[in-house]
Amino acid sequence: MEPINKVVSVVTPLDRKNVDTDQIISKEFLKRIERTGFGKYVFYHWRFHEDGSEVKDFVLNDERFKGSKILVAHENFGCGSSREHAPWSILDYGFNVVIAPSFADIFHNNCMKNGLLPIKLTVSEVEELLANGQQQPYSVEVNLEKQTVTGQDGKTYSFDIDPYYKQMLLNGWDEISLTFQYEEHIAKYEERVKQSV
């Protein structure tokens, strides 16, 4: 995966809680056997009417947020299905960061494996960001190394992240290659289990 550290962009304010992965990427797009090319389907049924025309008042269709790399939403983002197509589609669309007060566990894990940075801020901090972003295009700088989000007005928020995943994201490491370094431990574990049966 691609390493990630600093991201500067206007925020896209998605004023929803419990955004489930069925909304992020609808099931009709899960039949493909590739990892790439899902961006054009992200939030499909919120972006488009049945006849294919754009839903004008949906935030991703707002010209002011085109090219944004940072999505902000309410709590429990990414709940539901384990489909990794969700972070694939968000990344492929152009976002590198999702900010919310909380994330569903599987989605959160899936982000970490793909270089999509999930940032947890408090409910009131997220509400402030959403409000700022809705009023007018509001730009922030995300700095993973420093674990900060800094608004264009200088307002700075700090976030926590598991140090293990922080290193993975900063370096864009392939986790499987790392795990191979523990082969001795895995083999020993398997030997122990075999003996006990």
Partner 1 sequence: MAKNIIEKIWDQHIVYEEQGKPDLLYIDLHLLHEVTSPQAFEGLRLANRTVRRPDLCFATMDHNVPTRNRDAIKDPIARKQINTLQSNCDEFGVELANMDHPDQGIVHIIGPELGLTQPGKTIVCGDSHTSTHGAFGAIAFGIGTSEVEHVLSTQTLWQTKPKTMEIRVNGKLGFGVTAKDIILAIIAKFGIDMGTGHIAEYTGEAIRNLTMEERMTICNMSIEAGAKAGLISPDETTIAYLKGRKHVPEGDAFDKAAATWLALASDEGATYDTVVEIDADEIEPFVTWGTNPAMGSGITSHVPYAKDFESESDKEALKQALAYMGLEEGAPLTSIDIQHVFIGSCTNARLSDLRAAAKVIEGKKVHSSVTAIVVPGSRTVKKQAEEEGLDAIFLEAGFEWRESGCSMCLAMNDDVVPTGERCASTSNRNFEGRQGAGARTHLMSPAMAAASAIAGHFVDVRELQATKA
Of 116, 67, 113, 63, give the one whose Cα is nearest residue 90. Answer: 116
Provide the token pair at 25: 């990427």
**162 interacts with partner 1 by CB under 8 A:** yes
**180 interacts with partner 1 by CB under 8 A:** yes
Alpha-helical segments (H) within the chain: 21-24, 44-47, 85-93, 105-112, 123-135, 163-171, 175-180, 183-196
The span of 6-14, 51-59, 64-72, 183-191 binding partner 1 (CB under 8 A) equals 183-191
Residue from 12, 68, 89, 110 touching partner 1 (CB under 8 A): that is: 110
Pick the closer one to partner 1 by CB: 52 or 154: 52
Burial of 154 (0-12, 13-18, 19+ CB in 10 A): exposed
Report the distance separating Cα 52 and Cα 62, nearest Å.
Answer: 16
**40 interacts with partner 1 by CB under 8 A:** no
Residues near partner 1 (CB under 8 A), total: 49
Residue from 17, 47, 146, 155 touching partner 1 (CB under 8 A): that is: 17
CB atoms closer than 10 angstroms to residue 63 = 7
The span of 10-18, 55-63, 65-73, 132-140 binding partner 1 (CB under 8 A) equals 10-18
Q: For residue 77, list its beta bridge partners.
A: 103
Pick the closer one to partner 1 by CB: 50 or 63: 50
**DSSP state, 88?**
H
Q: How far is the CB of 54 from partner 1 (least distance, A)?
A: 16
Residues in contact with partner 1 by the rule CB under 8 A: 15-18, 20, 22-23, 26-28, 30-35, 45, 50, 74-76, 79-84, 87, 102, 104-106, 109-110, 113-114, 162-164, 175-176, 179-180, 182, 185-186, 189-190, 193
